[in-house]
């Protein structure tokens, strides 16, 4: 048996309830993991609220975790009991103290990376790798806009983009968060609650705008992000913390020959080979100091609902984890 957060209906954070669940032996191609750190993501909030109806109910939410392999099924190669591993999966099931999972979803965690760091950065760090290398390659001389620059993805995105020579403009909701974003490599941070971020970005770029706008906020910032683009600029919408983006006229893009992408990491990191390449790049960035994530906020597994409340209220900076042993 294992402890797990089981969701039986969509709703508020109160629908996330701790229950005992049975974890069977791993089947062919699977491993059993005792989990030590579980990542919490905005995607989880969308699933819990019913905005994303992608988890069969009743079910266990959660996309990523780290832990230790305790058993392997037939045909598994490359993993053995005792291996430290991490994963992300569109199949959910992460909010649990133990689980079985397909071995081809796992990456081995290097000795220099602890379990909490692995769980805190795998999904977010691979997302950033996708954003700066695959969706729109970032390099010297570019100017980019990063919304929610002090968030879990935002801080890593600012660090990695700045290391590539880009000028980074961030947005944040408080002076405290602005200071974190500046420390992560932002050249300037706009306090969006106090000033018009479009006007401020235009002023900071002498009216030109930015080459790329990375927008994980969605409804509240989407049209403003378009207005921040330079000619032939690219808007990357990779989240909707404030709600889904409403329909708009595609002719709106002709204002500056803009382009828009709505990437999903599951499509970019599909398959063990591609996942291995991307995770290797991420772990190199952690090892050489390109990425220096702040310590995550850690709550006991039973307080998953509280973690969702804090995320949705934008009270967090950096990553949020659940501790199965807490």
pLDDT tens digit string along 149-171? 999 899 999 999 999 999 999 99
Residue 69 located in a structural domain: yes
Apex 42 CA angle, 38 and 43, nearest 5:
85
Q: In terms of Cα–Cα distance, which of 5, 29, 19 is closest to 100?
A: 29
Residue 284 located in a structural domain: yes
**Is residue 245 within 8 Å of residue 223, measured between CB atoms?**
no
Residue 57 located in a structural domain: yes
DSSP labels for 105-118?
Answer: GEEEPPTTS-HHHH
CATH number of the domain encompassing residue 301? 3.90.180.10
The band of 326, judged by pLDDT with boundaries at 50, 70 and 90, is confident
**Is residue 68 within 8 Å of residue 85, measured between CB atoms?**
yes
Question: Cis peptide leading into 58, omega within 30 of 0?
Answer: yes
Residues 16, 112, single domain; the answer is yes
The whole-number pLDDT of residue 32 equals: 98
**Is residue 79 within 8 Å of residue 254, measured between CB atoms?**
no
Can you tell me the distance from the alpha carbon of 81 to that of 33, in angstroms, rounded to the nearest whole number?
A: 9
Residue 135 located in a structural domain: no
pLDDT tens digit string along 203-237? 999 999 999 999 999 999 999 999 999 999 999 99
The whole-number pLDDT of residue 278 equals: 97
The model carries a pTM of 0.91
Is the pLDDT assigned to residue 319 strictly greater than 90? no
**Cβ neighbours for 25, distance < 8 A, ≥ 6 positions apart:** 32, 71, 73, 100
Q: Determine the average pLDDT of the residues in 13-20.
A: 98
Residues 258, 278, single domain; the answer is no
Domain extent, residue 34, equals 2-122+266-323
The whole-number pLDDT of residue 45 equals: 95
Half-sphere exposure of 273 (CA within 13 A, CB side): 0
User: Which residue among 263, 283, 299 closes a domain?
Assistant: 263
Residues 6, 116, single domain; the answer is yes
Residue 130 located in a structural domain: no
Half-sphere exposure of 214 (CA within 13 A, CB side): 29
Apex 82 CA angle, 265 and 20, nearest 5:
70
The band of 56, judged by pLDDT with boundaries at 50, 70 and 90, is very high
CATH number of the domain encompassing residue 149? 3.40.50.720
Is the pLDDT assigned to residue 79 strictly greater than 80? yes
Residue 313 located in a structural domain: yes
- Our count of domains for the chain comes to 2
């Amino acid at each position: 048996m294992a402890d797990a957060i089981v969701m039986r209906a969509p709703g508020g954070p109160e629908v996330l309830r701790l229950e005992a669940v049975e974890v069977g032996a791993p089947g062919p191609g699977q491993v059993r993991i005792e989990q030590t750190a579980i990542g919490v993501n905005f995607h989880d909030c969308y699933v819990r609220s019913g905005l994303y109806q992608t988890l069969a109910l009743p079910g266990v939410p959660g996309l990523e975790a780290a832990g230790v392999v305790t058993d392997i099924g037939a045909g598994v190669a490359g993993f053995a009991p005792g291996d430290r591993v991490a994963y992300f999966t569109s199949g959910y099931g992460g909010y649990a103290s133990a689980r079985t999972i397909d071995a081809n979803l796992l990456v081995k965690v290097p000795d220099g990376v602890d379990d909490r760091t692995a769980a805190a950065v795998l999904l977010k760090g691979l997302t950033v790798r996708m954003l700066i290398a695959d969706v729109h390659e970032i390099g010297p001389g570019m100017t980019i806009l990063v919304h929610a620059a002090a968030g879990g993805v935002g801080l890593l995105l600012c660090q990695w983009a700045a290391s590539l020579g880009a000028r980074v403009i961030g947005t944040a909701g408080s002076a405290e968060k602005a200071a974190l974003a500046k420390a992560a490599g932002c050249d300037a941070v706009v306090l969006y609650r106090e000033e018009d971020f479009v006007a401020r970005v235009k002023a900071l770029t002498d009216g030109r705008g930015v080459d790329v706008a990375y927008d994980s906020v969605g409804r509240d910032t989407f049209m403003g992000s378009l207005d921040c683009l330079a000619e032939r600029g690219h808007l990357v919408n990779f989240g909707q913390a404030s709600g889904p983006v409403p329909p708009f006229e595609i002719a709106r893009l002709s204002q500056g020959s803009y382009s828009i992408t709505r990437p999903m990491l599951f499509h970019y990191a599909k398959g063990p080979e591609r996942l291995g390449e991307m995770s290797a790049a991420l772990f190199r960035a952690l090892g050489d100091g390109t990425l220096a994530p702040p310590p995550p906020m850690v709550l006991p597994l039973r307080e998953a609902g509280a973690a969702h409340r804090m995320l949705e209220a934008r009270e967090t900076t950096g990553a949020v984890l659940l501790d199965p042993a807490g």
